[in-house]
Amino acid sequence: MSAISLKNLDISYQSKKVVRDVTFDVAEGESFALVGESGSGKSTVLKAIAGLAPDWTGEISILGQARSHKVDRDVATRCQMVFQDPYGSLHPRKSVDTVLSEPLLIHGLGNRNSRVIDMLAAVGLDQRFRFRFPHQLSGGQRQRVAIARALMLEPKVMLLDEPTSALDVSVQAEILNLLKRLRREQGLSYLMVTHNLPVVSFMCDRMAVMNKGRIVEIAPASALHDGSFTDPYSQSLYAASGGNPDRKEMA
Amino acid sequence: MTAPLLSVENLRVSFPTPAGRADVVKGLSFDLGRERLGIVGESGSGKSMTGRAILRLIRRPGHQSADRMMFDGLDLTTLSEREMRKLRGARISMIMQDPKFSLNPVMTVGDQIAEALRTHERLARKDVGARVIEMLHSVRINEPERVVRLFPHEVSGGMGQRIMIAMMLIPQPDLLIADEPTSALDVSVQAQVLDLIDELVRNKGMALILISHDLNLVARYCDRILVMHSGKVVESCAAKDLHEATHPYTRGLLAAVPRMEETRDELPVLDRSAWSGT
Amino acid sequence: MTTARTWLLADSPNSKLQANLGNGYRMMGALMRNPLAVVGMVILSMLLLAAIFAPWIAPHTPFGQNLGARLLPPSAAHWMGTDELGRDIFSRVIYGARITLMIVTLVAVISAPLGLLIGAIAGYFGGWTDKILMGVTDVFLSMPKLILALAFVAALGPGIENAIIAIAITSWPAYARIARAETLTFRNSEFISATRLLGASHSRVIVRHVLPLCTSSMIVRVTLDMAGIILTAAGLGFLGLGAQPPLPEWGAMISRGRTFILDQWWVATMPGLAIILVSLGFCFLGDGLRDVLDPKQGGKS
């Protein structure tokens, strides 16, 4: 059974087709990357899987179950999403404790106090942050809270939308390490959207390169080591990201 | 070396907080010749404030002071606001992060570039038009005759940033300050824009201050690098020696960047207690 | 005192209560640094105290007629003079505070939540919901407030309750507009999407996430509108459609005093002063609140 399976997915936005004929499978426990430049439709694919872009045709299934076009509670417990902007993804008036308790309240889960405490520990946040508000946290700490919120319902599939692109390099390293550790510890599958190829090299097993709404190539992450891409667009993206010979000499 | 183009000594920028004034730039000093200087740091390091302070663009309630800030024989600390305005754009230009916020949405691209030129030079209308087209050519915009009639929302991000560069370079400044000029752009466009800045700077013999959070990018496009951390320069070195940097902060930053041929299982994380008490 | 302060301002509060109290304390502190807001608060606390302790403050009963002491000018015995039935105006103004406070509170309690909810729903769902709700709102907004209130009172019959209902009905559309505008600014933001993805229903998102973000600008607006509400209520009272005699409503008192305004100026002036003072109080407090709750709208710093 695959974690995420997409078949012939077409997605429209305001009656304009922005993604065409996307087909790929993410195996359970795998970390899969969708890479491409802005406007390539990579984030739209993620939104459709999450249920935030309802105007699609084709087939989307999560852990073997086809999903509906709407946001639904059932999918919520299996699949969660982490957003790009740590400043926009937390409600400005809600404390960390409220943010983390909310998913438990929605799904009527008990034992909230201890679950929140455990989750803070799991994402590496000190307990003293529990009653702080977002404006009292740094970007990296906010992203940890956002990851914790997504994990509260113990989903098995995580959708990551450029989770570190708004962060400083040193903080990015911390968050990437955290995501990698959580995946190992909780047996998660990741589908990650990014434009940063070195991040893919660190985090992912396989990747799909998207250009103008289509997938042009699906390659193993090892292709980033030797540049063995077959599609000309993937090659140019690889070169522009610094994956060229003179970069190797410098390092 | 001859007298430097820009010489800054003990530059300080402070902002008020509930707990008193806090310095975001704490006594920065450097000399700049006709060379390419990179200022690198993470958010909150004071790198952008340094760029703005050189142009005396720190808005209230922020406050800046310096023991010395000489630009080509002019004392920037004592110039009147009016003289500063003449200097900005004409002799020192600044390229900001996002072209969307720096271009006037209701003026055509051509008019904006022409205005940048006219405020600093008296030229006949015909010559202005020719100079604008020529400048757009040099920032590699195809069909400049068509582009001058476009409005900013009709151009892509990469083209917008090239138009910004054209606007900043048309008065032929001596110093160009580029503050994260490409972080809003896609990788493939990033390289093009930076190559362009680099080429124009070299050809015209300008000085460049490139402000960025990206160590590798700065190393590629600059001669000399200042690494800033919480308002202070922690390391100053030639760009080619960056990988032999000695300060633990610089080394930590370098190590924390994932590489294209990544084999590490975990990225080294900065131990923030290693070099500062805070 | 210092320990309470450090407890309130702690960077890492230990409980929800401490965090919320700390926030309240910071806001209060910011409000206290604004001199006009303090003046506004003092005036409004005077109104509140006058309303609560009216029987103890007022030297006479507000209804006690004494035809032997008609239309006396202000003196030591009657600080604001007496009216045409020999009632002590000062006592009536003090008791009038109760009515004013009741009007203001009820109008705020009815119209602000109504406007807030309608605006938030319109802004959150968009599309047809938005068009229909905002169409209705525009119809109400396009009519002059006092005329509309007059029409309602005329239909419902004069009286203080009907005046309150009429004012509430005419004042919600402005709040709906504000709430909608505010909602539009963040309805596509990631924290709303994230909450939806957790499985939260639309009503939960609106009530727990959208409304709390609209309330601060709403509180500011309602406070600033209070002056207008008091004036509308007084206007209705003046026209004889609000509070009925012998209730000591300020607008109605001015109306009664109009007959004697040239010879016995104090009969109309004293309740008028009370209206001005309270309106001013609300305006000052509203301005102060805006600076504290809504820094982006306040002009300075």
Residue C74 in any domain: the answer is yes
Asked whether residue C293 carries a pLDDT value surpassing 80, the answer given is no
What residues in A contact C193, CB-CB < 8 Å?
A: 50, 52, 81, 83
The whole-angstrom distance between A88's CA and the closest CA on chain B is 17
Query: How high is the pLDDT of residue C294?
Result: 64
> Would you list the DSSP string of B23-86?
EEEEEEEEEE-SSEEEEE--TTSSHHHHHHHHTT-PPTT-EEE-SEEEETTEETTTS-HHHHHH
Say which residues have a Cβ less than 8 Å from residue C232's Cβ, sequence separation at least 6: C145, C146, C149, C167, C170
CB C218 within 8 A of CB C290: no
Name the residue range of residue C248's domain: 42-293
Stretch (H or E) spanning C276? helix C266-293
Distances (CA, A) of A18 to A11, A214, C52, C194: 6, 9, 65, 23
Interface test with B, best of A202, A247, A250 (most B CBs within 10 A): A202
pLDDT tens for B14-25 read 988 777 788 889
Is C84 buried (19+), middle (13-18) or exposed (0-12) by CB count in 10 A?
middle
What residues in A contact B267, CB-CB < 8 Å?
A: 173, 176-177, 202
Whole-angstrom Cα distance, residue A230 to residue A241?
17
Say which residues have a Cβ less than 8 Å from residue B175's Cβ, sequence separation at least 6: B5, B6, B32, B71, B91, B92, B93, B206, B207, B208, B209
CA dihedral B127, B130, B132, B134 (to 10 degrees): -130
Residue C135 identity (one-letter amino acid): G
Closest CA to C118 of C196, C199, C175: C175
Residue C152 in any domain: the answer is yes
What residues in C contact A13, CB-CB < 8 Å?
A: none
Whole-angstrom Cα distance, residue B199 to residue B205?
10
Q: How confident is the model at residue C300 (pLDDT cuts 50, 70, 90)?
A: very low
Asked whether residue B118 carries a pLDDT value surpassing 90, the answer given is no
Asked whether residue A100 carries a pLDDT value surpassing 70, the answer given is yes
Test A168 with B260 for CB contact under 8 angstroms: no
Interface test with A, best of B45, B187, B278 (most A CBs within 10 A): B187
The whole-angstrom distance between C46's CA and the closest CA on chain A is 32
Stretch (H or E) spanning C255? helix C250-257
Query: Hey, which residues does B28 pair with through a beta bridge?
Result: B11
User: Phi and psi (nearest 5°) for C240?
Assistant: 85, 10
pLDDT tens for C75-105 read 877 788 888 888 888 889 999 889 888 888 9
**What interhelical angle do C89-125 and C266-293 show, nearest 10?**
30
Test B186 with A37 for CB contact under 8 angstroms: yes
Residue A47 in any domain: the answer is no
Test C199 with A72 for CB contact under 8 angstroms: yes
Whole-angstrom Cα distance, residue B268 to residue A174?
8
Q: What angle do CA B260, B266, B268 make, to 5 degrees?
A: 90
Residue A142 in any domain: the answer is yes
Residue holding tokens 């063995």?
A228
Q: What is the mean pLDDT of residues C183-209?
A: 92
Test A172 with B216 for CB contact under 8 angstroms: no
What share of chain B has pLDDT > 70, as a percent?
96
Test B243 with A38 for CB contact under 8 angstroms: no
CB B150 within 8 A of CB B128: no
Binding-site residues on chain A for chain C (CB distance < 8 A): 50-52, 71-73, 76-77, 80-81, 83-85, 88-93, 95, 97-98, 102-103, 106-107, 128-129, 131-133, 136, 146, 149-150, 152-153
Query: How high is the pLDDT of residue B273?
Result: 57
SS3 C60: coil
Q: How confident is the model at residue C298 (pLDDT cuts 50, 70, 90)?
A: very low
Query: How high is the pLDDT of residue A60?
Result: 93
Whole-angstrom Cα distance, residue B270 to residue A173?
9
How many residue pairs bridge chain A and chain C with CB atoms within 8 Å of each other? 80
Residue C24 in any domain: the answer is no
Q: For C297, what's the count of Cα atoms within 13 Å in the CB-facing half-sphere?
A: 16
Neighbours of chain B (3+ CB pairs under 8 A): A
CB C154 within 8 A of CB C162: no
Residue A134 in any domain: the answer is yes
CB within 8 Å of chain A, chain B residues 189-248: 190-191, 213-216, 219, 243
Mean pLDDT score across all residues of chain B: 85
Query: How high is the pLDDT of residue B277?
Result: 38
Alpha helices in chain A (DSSP H): 42-50, 73-76, 96-106, 112-122, 139-151, 169-186, 197-203, 223-226, 232-240, 245-250
Whole-angstrom Cα distance, residue A107 to residue A75?
12
Domain count, chain C: 1
Q: How confident is the model at residue A250 (pLDDT cuts 50, 70, 90)?
A: very low
For chain B, say whether A204 makes contact (Cβ under 8 Å).
no
CB A195 within 8 A of CB A38: yes
Closest CA to B197 of B160, B165, B231, B245: B165
Residue A105 in any domain: the answer is yes
Q: What CATH number is given to the structural domain containing C68?
A: 1.10.3720.10
Name the residue range of residue A108's domain: 87-154
CB within 8 Å of chain B, chain A residues 164-193: 168-174, 176-177, 180
For chain A, say whether B257 makes contact (Cβ under 8 Å).
yes
The 10 Å Cβ neighbour count of residue A216 is: 18
The whole-angstrom distance between B238's CA and the closest CA on chain A is 14
The whole-angstrom distance between A51's CA and the closest CA on chain B is 27
Whole-angstrom Cα distance, residue B228 to residue B12?
13
Whole-angstrom Cα distance, residue B49 to residue B55?
10
Query: How high is the pLDDT of residue A228?
Result: 87
Residue C12 in any domain: the answer is no
Q: How confident is the model at residue A251 (pLDDT cuts 50, 70, 90)?
A: very low
SS3 A163: coil
Residue A147 identity (one-letter amino acid): I
Domain count, chain A: 1
Residue C258 in any domain: the answer is yes
Distances (CA, A) of C110 to A143, B70, C114, C162, C239: 40, 65, 6, 13, 23
Give the chain A residue nearest B190 (alpha carbons).
Answer: A240
**What interhelical angle do C89-125 and C127-141 show, nearest 10?**
150
The whole-angstrom distance between C181's CA and the closest CA on chain A is 18
Q: Give the predicted TM-score (pTM) of the model.
A: 0.85
Residue C238 in any domain: the answer is yes
Residue holding tokens 């020696």?
B241
Residue A63 in any domain: the answer is no
pLDDT tens for A70-90 read 888 888 999 999 998 888 899
Q: How confident is the model at residue C1 (pLDDT cuts 50, 70, 90)?
A: low
Test A201 with B43 for CB contact under 8 angstroms: no
Say which residues have a Cβ less than 8 Å from residue C272's Cβ, sequence separation at least 6: C250, C254
pLDDT tens for C216-242 read 888 888 888 888 888 888 888 888 888
Closest by Cβ to A81, choosing from C23, C197, C208: C197
How many residue pairs bridge chain A and chain B with CB atoms within 8 Å of each other? 83
Residue C10 in any domain: the answer is no
The domains found in chain B, sorted by start residue, are: 6-256 (3.40.50.300)
Query: How high is the pLDDT of residue A200?
Result: 94
Q: For C100, what's the count of Cα atoms within 13 Å in the CB-facing half-sphere?
A: 38
Residue A195 in any domain: the answer is no
C259 is written with which tokens?
Answer: 């007959």
C223 is written with which tokens?
Answer: 């406070």
User: Phi and psi (nearest 5°) for A103?
Assistant: -55, -35
Query: How high is the pLDDT of residue B274?
Result: 54
Rg (Cα) of chain A, in Å, rounded? 18
Answer positive or negative: Cα dihedral of C61, C65, C67, C68: negative
Whole-angstrom Cα distance, residue B126 to residue B196?
27
Mean pLDDT score across all residues of chain C: 85
pLDDT tens for C150-177 read 888 888 888 888 888 888 888 899 999 9
Whole-angstrom Cα distance, residue B221 to residue B236?
16
Whole-angstrom Cα distance, residue A123 to residue A100?
12
Residue C19 in any domain: the answer is no
Q: How confident is the model at residue B272 (pLDDT cuts 50, 70, 90)?
A: low
Whole-angstrom Cα distance, residue A215 to residue A19?
9
Say which residues have a Cβ less than 8 Å from residue B60's Cβ, sequence separation at least 6: none
B242 is written with which tokens?
Answer: 């960056």
What residues in C contact A89, CB-CB < 8 Å?
A: 189-191, 194
Closest CA to A69 of A58, A80, A79, A55: A55
What residues in A contact C217, CB-CB < 8 Å?
A: none
pLDDT tens for B197-207 read 888 888 888 89
Stretch (H or E) spanning C236? helix C211-238
CB within 8 Å of chain A, chain C residues 189-248: 189-191, 193-200, 204, 208-209, 212-213
Give the chain B residue nearest A251 (alpha carbons).
Answer: B243
Residue A127 in any domain: the answer is yes
